Structure 1
Amino acid sequence: MHVRDLKAGDVLLFSPEEGSWISKAITWLTDAPVSHAAMTYQIPTKMVEETPPAVRIAEATMRFPGRTVHVMRLNKTTIDDFKPVMDIAAKYLNGEAPYAMNNLYLVGMLLIYKKFTPSDTTQKIILRILKRLTEKLLDAINQHKYPDKHPMVCSQFVFECYQEAGKAYQLTIKNGSLLGDSNRPTLLSKAFKHKRQQSQLGGLQSDNTSDEELAKELYEAMNDETLLASGTVADELLDAIHDFAQVLHGVSHQVELEKADPKQGIAILQAQSSMFVTPGDLLRHCPELVHIGDIKLK
């Protein structure tokens, strides 16, 4: 398939970025060969994507090299006008986009929602990742940079463009990546039952480790089968989830940190979990999208 064969509204799902540990972590956590989602915008060579600092338009040919792009198209022959979907994308482009976080945010959300009990070593790395994400959201509160909605990841942005375009365009996710058949609770469900013992929000210490290095440590720990989980989750990690939830509530509801409520933040995360869409979901678990081909540019 060639770039010129793309049509407005085509969903573009990218294979992991070469050399990116964040991309590798996303594919491991979702058990899918894709780590980023975007959408063809208006003409074949243009794409729209949710990426920091905001939703943007990019040249498809500049974003494709070195990655396989799986092209998905709405499987409804009665629809050939994608203007409603493009209009929603344009709305986000024109300044109404949710606060954009980098792909470490997607990793963090996957860790909170995944049905697994991480090993003690992995828990320590997850703790550092959550503190990093909490710092980023806290900066938004301190600088009074509030979004209109809670932060959205790349695949959620694509999904929302279709959802908001009207009933004829709406997508569904069946047996999503994070549902699985595991009976293990998520970190979020454990945090819901946990009473925060100590908040770190007043004394978050900067970790000089890069996002990629954190993702590398996470990936290597998750792939080390010699590290067996104890079956318990450390209170410090559960406290960190409450801290993250508190700043998420502050950002989402445009309130100062002192007025932000971790319980309401947990409620936001719980409500979002049922609607959370991963790049892998758009590839494998969305019956309204059909795979029409792949593009690979060197």
Structure 2
Amino acid sequence: MHVRDLQAGDVLLFSAEEGSWISKAITWLTDAPVSHAAMTYQIPTKMIEETPPAVRVAEATMRFPGRTVHVMRLNKPIDDFKPVMDVAAQYLNGEAPYATNNLYLLGILLLYKKFTPSDTAQKIIMRILKRLTGRLLNAINQHKYPDKHPMVCSQFVFECYQEAGKAFQLTIRSGNLQSDSTRTSLLHKAFKYKPQTSQIDSLESEQASDEELAKELFEAMNNETLLATGTVADELLEAIHDFAKVLHGVSQQVDLDKADSKQGIAILQAQSSMFVTPGDLLQHCPELRHIGDIKIK
């Protein structure tokens, strides 16, 4: 398939980025071969995506090299995708924030996935959440609040379709994070936990880069002998509450002293049932069909 064969509204799902540990970790957590989602915008060579620092339009040929792009298209005839394009334009004009790049997607996946990570992985997850907490805290301190709750790339594509009207509605069946596992998520465990000592005012500066954190996490998670000890450290649960607190502040446009971790966790829980991963759009969305792949060296 060639870029010129794309149509407005085509869903573009990207294979893991070569050399990116964040991409590797996302594909591992979702058990899917894709780690990023975008959408063809208005003309075949343009695509719109949620990526740092906000929703943006990019040249497709500039974003495709080195990755396999799985192209998905609505499986029923639609003459005009203008409603979907209009929703995307609203997000573009509103500069909907991606929050903190793909590390944010990775962090949310770690909260939602039904598993108990090893002690080693828990310590790395805590460091990732603290980094995300610090970045969201900067948004509060600078009073740069989003118009809507921060979204990840695949959620952005999904919402563009959902908000365009009934004819464009998508559904996710047996999604990547909706398995009937007997395990519970870290978010569920945090909901039952009563926080004791907030670390927000004394967040330590993390020396490792986002990619280095993701590499450490991937290597810890990929060692199956280390998984599922059954116990989640209080320190990690505290970190989840701190993250939820600043997320509540950003989402509700309130200062930190008025933000509440329980309400932040409630926001995350409400979203978890509707959360869409790039893998869901590829493997679990019956309204989309795979029409081909694009590979540009």
TM-score, structure 2 length as denominator?
0.99
The answer to whether the 8 Å contact 2:38/2:49 transfers is yes
Q: 2:270 maps to what in 1?
A: 271
Any idea what the Cα deviations from partners look like across 1:2-35, whole Å, max 9, x if unmatched?
A: 0000000000000000000000000000000000
1:13 lines up with 2:2 in the alignment: no
Q: Kindly state the Cα deviation for residue 100 of structure 1 after the two structures are TM-superposed.
A: 3.4
Matches within 5 A, 1:130-145: 130-145=129-144
Tell me the TM-score normalised to structure 1 length. Answer: 0.98
User: What value does the CA root-mean-square deviation take over the aligned residues?
Assistant: 0.9
Equivalent AA in structure 1 for residue 231 of structure 2: T
Task: Describe how 1:109-124 pairs up with structure 2 within 5 A.
Answer: 109-124=108-123
* Structure 1 segments of 4+ aligned residues over 2 angstroms from their partners: 98-101
Q: Residue in 2 aligned with 1:259? A: 258
Cα distance, 1:228 vs structure 2: 4.1
Q: Could you say which residue in structure 2 is the equivalent of 1:187?
A: 186
What does residue 79 of structure 2 align with? 80
Residue 148 of structure 2 aligns with which residue?
Answer: 149
Q: Do 1:200 and 1:240's aligned partners in 2 also have CA atoms closer than 8 Å?
A: yes
The residue aligned with 1:63 is: 63
Q: Residue deviations 1:197-231, cap 9 Å, x none?
A: 11000100110100000000000000112324321
The 1:228/1:4 distance shift into structure 2, 3 A limit, reads: closer
Aligned-partner Cα distance in 2 for 1:175–1:80: 30
Correspondence 1:185-224 to 2 at 5 A: 185-224=184-223
**Distance in 2 of aligned mates of 1:66 and 1:147:** 32
**Equivalences, count:** 297
Q: Does structure 2 conserve the Cα–Cα contact (< 8 Å) formed by 1:250 and 1:256?
A: yes
Contact 2:112-2:187 within 8 A present in 1 as well: yes
Q: Return the letter of the residue paired with 1:281.
A: D
Superposition deviation, residue 97 in structure 1: 1.8
C-alpha separation in 1, matches of 2:227 and 2:273:
29
- Displacement of 1:277: 0.5
Contact 1:55 1:100 in 2 (8 A): no
Equivalent-residue separation in structure 2 for 1:185 and 1:225 (angstroms): 18
Structure 1, unmatched stretches of 5+, are none
- What is the percent sequence identity of the aligned residues? 84
What is the CA–CA distance in structure 1 between the aligned matches of 2:228 and 2:177, rounded to whole Å?
Answer: 19
For residues 88 and 101 of structure 2, the distance between their equivalents in structure 1, rounded to whole angstroms, comes to 19
Kept in 2, the 8 Å contact 1:101–1:153? The answer is no
Specify the code of the residue in structure 1 equivalent to 2:218. Answer: Y
Q: How far does residue 98 in structure 1 lie from its aligned partner after superposition?
A: 4.0
Q: For residues 18-54 of structure 1, what are the alpha-carbon distances to aligned partners after superposition, in whole Å with 9 as ceiling and x for unaligned?
A: 0000000000000000000000000000000001111
Contact 1:130 1:244 in 2 (8 A): yes
Question: Is the counterpart of residue 165 in structure 1 residue 164 in structure 2?
Answer: yes
